[in-house]
Amino acid sequence: MRNQFLAILVAATAIVSSAAGASRPNEPHSSGAAPFVPPAVSYTESMTEDDAARLQQERVAACVVKARRGMVLKALQRDPWEPAARHMLENALDAKCLDNIQMVMPPDLLRGAYYQELYRERFGARAPALAPAPIDFRGKPGGKMTKDATVEIALREFGDCVVRRDLSDAQALILSLPGDPQETDALAALMPQFNACLVRGSQWTLDRGLISAILSEVVYREAVASNGEAPN
């Protein structure tokens, strides 16, 4: 599984695309822990180009969250299937954080990278407690339920199922670095939960980056809701 996609296959076809929605991120309160900062990107014999690209994306996200926190939080208020969501995520990028690198990052992974950074800032030292009942991932009341919305809601409900069954290994995955043995170990430990939480009749193909994005968003939003914080 080291350099391969993690494929979760069942019966019908649904292409996974992103992660965000109902209980939105508030400005995180300081937990007293130092912010998680991935080390500088450096290629090693064991690091694939994909791993290095994901590590670079994490560093960009950490920089943008620090430089444009308000814009990031506002962008995350949007459901990912809204037309404005992509535009707001891209506008939040700060050219200074890109440091002259050419990076093409799909909005779903960009959203996930922001959630991952927010989670690492606030809950990096200790996994949060989750409320007994999951939050509602269906987005704004009265919103149009498109095919994309249906898939993305199901994906987040899948992620919620996974983190509730094994928060410890979900935490390990969110805090792990791309290509690190900790990432591989956490994915292997979570595999039974992936299988148990699959929606019957669905087919999802998820890579490591997208799995981290999904779990980062879900567990962050659940943790914020558990603290009784209302969405922005």
DSSP states along 12-26: S---------SSPPP
Across the chain, what does the average pLDDT equal?
A: 77
Out of 101-110, 130-139, 151-160, give the one with best mean pLDDT.
Answer: 151-160
Q: Which of 153 and 24 is assigned the larger pLDDT?
A: 153
| Alpha-carbon span 144 to 130, nearest angstrom | 29
Structure tokens given for 121: 């800032």
Sequence letter at residue 214: I
The CA-based diameter of the chain, rounded to the nearest angstrom, is 51
The tens digit of pLDDT for each residue in 167-199 reads 999 999 999 999 899 999 999 999 999 989 987
**Rounded (10°) CA dihedral 88, 90, 94, 98:** 160
The tens digit of pLDDT for each residue in 86-97 reads 889 888 888 888
Residues of the chain above pLDDT 90, percent: 33
The two beta strands, 204-206 and 6-8, are: antiparallel
| Alpha-carbon span 200 to 197, nearest angstrom | 9
Task: Judge whether residue 212 has pLDDT over 50.
Answer: yes
Task: List the alpha helices (DSSP H) in 99-142.
Answer: 107-123
Q: What is the pLDDT of residue 226?
A: 80
Beta strands in 55-147 (DSSP E): none
Q: Which residue do the tokens 């670095």 mark?
A: 177
Q: Which of 214 and 143 is assigned the larger pLDDT?
A: 214
Contact 13, 204 (CB under 8 A): no
Contact 158, 198 (CB under 8 A): yes
Q: What is the pLDDT of residue 107?
A: 66
Number of Cβ within 10 Å of residue 220's Cβ equals 27
Q: What is the pLDDT of residue 10?
A: 33
The tens digit of pLDDT for each residue in 24-62 reads 555 444 444 444 444 444 445 567 888 888 888 898 899
